[in-house]
Structure 1
Amino acid sequence: MQRTAPPLSPDTGKPRRTEPKQVRRRQLIEATIDSIAKYGIAGTTMSTVTDIAGLSIGLVNFHFQSKQNLLEETLKFLAREHHDHWRRAYEDAGLSARDKLLAIVDSHFHSKICTRRKLAVWYAFFGEAGRRTVYRALVDAIDDERFALSLGLCQQITDEGGYPGHPVTTIARTLEGLYDGLWLNILMYPETFDRDAARANVHAYLALAFPRHFELPQQETAGRLVQMERRR
């Protein structure tokens, strides 16, 4: 996703410093995402953020009192953006459990959510042992909400389709694992793995789990996936 550049002063051509508080905070969070994507968490400082944002150290200290606070607010921003996106997709979907589960799946690979710069932030928190506790404290409730909804939808689909002895909890947890794993593939192998391929993989899993409700990806999509895997 391309960031909207901060508004420029007609006199100096530099970002205005009198924007509303929420606009300034958003600019700094977007700059933090860029900094983490480029330098990692350890290499991200107040200076790298302000350099990217074109703002002063005083402003970042005013809005975020410390680097830790800035990092946490950035993660919360991404978690809330992701939550609001899949929740809206879920609520806007058709009435069937199938449609609602697909809406949750597809929202994970939307171009607004699934970008390499944003994925870099998620995995920066995953990758540092000291940050994982922070991550869980900030987003566990959101993850639990999505899992509970997905579990309920899997149970409805199982009941509707008469799938005997289906391990719905395992299926729902596997979906959560697929999201994380496929996001990592997109981040690590951008030349050979994209959002469409990732989405198709999840659709294929659902088709195997619930064959009377979901279809395997079309042949050309499946062929493209095989070619991409061979290039890796």
Structure 2
Amino acid sequence: MPKVGIEPIRKKQLIEATLSSIGTHGLQGTTINTISGIAGLSSGIISHYFGGKQGLIKATVRYLLDQLKVTLLNSAEQKALSPKQRLMMIVEANFTNIQQSDEATRTWLSFWAQAMHDPELAKLQRVNSQRLLSNLRYSFKQLMPPDKAIDAAKITAAMIDGFWLRSALSDSSKGEFKEAEMHCKQVIDTLILQYGEQS
């Protein structure tokens, strides 16, 4: 009889092994065997828990999305934040260590490429994009008129995604990620000055 609570542990092992495998072999080179080998678990357990490699890839992307959400919620719960502080925190959440690790960056890049051909992955991407826009818009609306808040949210989301992508593809990504975070915060400052009042 399986031990109580062992399934979440095994699933997390397999997700972490998937991140590691994609980081080493890329998405195309990642197989059930490379994942199970890294996890130290039988390949059959992947089919048992996830229905196969594709199910595990989707679960891994959801894990990265959840990490973004958890980082944001944990930061927001620490103290009462002004709208501007919340905007800066959203930027920071998108540039945390887990989101800029080699494993995460390669998984995100593979995910974006595959999302163009896979409806389920495309849906996850839309959810991710809408969540970012919604969080940004909520804070900007407290600093400027609603129509300007929508524009500011779209600009900031594009800057976050664009700077993150440029950093991920850079030879010196660690330094680039730090600079990217700073530039995104500067964009927010500029938008608040242009459309609203400094918070």
TM-score by length of 1: 0.73
Deviation string 1:128-163 (CA, Å, 9 cap, x unpaired) is 3313x322323533432331231121121125xxxx
- The answer to whether the 8 A contact 2:95-2:177 is kept is yes
- Name the CA distance, whole Å, in 2 between partners of 1:190 and 1:39: 18
1:84 equivalent in alignment to 2:66: no
Q: Count residues in correspondence.
A: 192
Answer with 1 or 2: which has the greater Rg.
1
SS at match of 1:194: helix
Q: 1:183 aligns with which of 164, 171, 190?
A: 164
Q: Which moved more, 1:176-185 or 1:17-26?
A: 17-26
- The answer to whether the 8 A contact 2:87-2:188 is kept is no
Identify if the C-alpha distance between structure 1 residues 88 and 190 changes in structure 2 by more than 3 Å, giving closer, same or farther: farther
Deviation string 1:61-81 (CA, Å, 9 cap, x unpaired) is 222221111111111111112
1:119 equivalent in alignment to 2:105: yes
Gaps of 5+ in 1: 1-16, 160-164, 215-232
- The answer to whether the 8 A contact 2:112-2:125 is kept is no
Q: 1:150 aligns with which of 132, 136, 139?
A: 136
Q: 1:41 aligns with which of 15, 22, 27?
A: 27
Q: CA RMSD, aligned part only?
A: 2.4
Q: What residue number does 2:189 align with?
A: 207
Q: What residue number does 2:89 align with?
A: 103
Structure with bigger helix share is: 2
How far 1:100 moved relative to its partner? 1.2
- The answer to whether the 8 A contact 1:93-1:99 is kept is no
SS at match of 1:156: coil
The structure, 1 or 2, with the larger RCO (C-alpha pairs under 8 Å, 6+ apart) is: 2
Gaps of 5+ in 2: none
Deviation string 1:48-100 (CA, Å, 9 cap, x unpaired) is 10111122112222222211111111111111121121233234353321111
Q: What residue number does 2:152 align with?
A: 171
- Name the CA distance, whole Å, in 2 between partners of 1:209 and 1:91: 25
Q: Which moved more, 1:45-54 or 1:90-99?
A: 90-99
How far 1:103 moved relative to its partner? 1.2
The amino acid that maps onto 1:168 is A
- Name the CA distance, whole Å, in 2 between partners of 1:143 and 1:88: 20
1:25 equivalent in alignment to 2:4: no
TM-score by length of 2: 0.84
1:130 equivalent in alignment to 2:117: yes
